[in-house]
Amino acid sequence: MYYDNEILRGMEEQSATRADTRSFIEPEVARLINTFILTLDAKNVLELGTCIGYSGIWMSEALKRTNGFLTTIDYDIALLDEARINFKKAGVSERIKILEGDITEVTKKLPTGYFDIVFQDARKSLYPVMLEECIRLVRTGGIIIADDTLYSRKGTAEKISLHLREYNKMVLSDKRLYSSIVSIGQGLTISTKL
């Protein structure tokens, strides 16, 4: 597999031995997102859920080509500190604005229709809650991408699946959006704002 930035391979290996990080997007998912960034010639991308910066590095490499910028939001200060270090090591810090805080509050301060792409990868229970805000934030013709939307597991993780099914149902029935669910990674739901 070709990586857009060599630091990404090491981050994957490091993540496999840790319990304090959320799972990363798969490289094939990252490359699909970057294809959208390049196709749209995206200048402004919003990421909900920074973790330690893995997906942010992927997207920033594509944004170098479009002369664009990533805004990323997370509440976990320890993980954000690590993300800052990783962004610096990857040489993409100048492309990224980090916002600390609760996503449901921080996004309220962002301008309507400003983003070409909004990438949802925070707590899955927030996907349905944040949909209306994502629609507000993305421009007409822009894309909302939600990760892990085909995730399905019995037991304690079943609640996560319920939130994801609710989200998929919402976007597929929303006449403001044209949506499709793609079976890549743990599933991606891609919605164009009409």
Q: pLDDT value at position 77?
A: 94
Q: pLDDT above 70 covers what percent of the chain?
A: 88
Distance separating alpha carbons of residues 48 and 119, to the nearest angstrom: 6
Determine, yes or no, domain membership for 11.
no
The total number of structural domains that make up the chain = 1
Contact call for residues 172 and 178 (beta carbons, < 8 A): no
Determine, yes or no, domain membership for 173.
yes
Contact call for residues 184 and 166 (beta carbons, < 8 A): no
Q: What are phi and psi of 121, to 5 degrees?
A: -150, 35
Determine, yes or no, domain membership for 110.
yes
Distance separating alpha carbons of residues 128 and 165, to the nearest angstrom: 9
Determine, yes or no, domain membership for 124.
yes
Determine, yes or no, domain membership for 120.
yes
Q: pLDDT above 90 covers what percent of the chain?
A: 77
What is the pLDDT averaged over residues 118-146? 97
Q: pLDDT value at position 161?
A: 85
Contact call for residues 26 and 184 (beta carbons, < 8 A): yes
Contact call for residues 42 and 18 (beta carbons, < 8 A): no
Determine, yes or no, domain membership for 75.
yes
Contact call for residues 11 and 52 (beta carbons, < 8 A): yes
Q: What is the pTM of this model?
A: 0.91
Give residue-wise pLDDT tens across range 85-118.
Answer: 999 999 999 999 999 999 999 999 999 999 999 9
Q: What CATH number corresponds to the domain at position 78?
A: 3.40.50.150
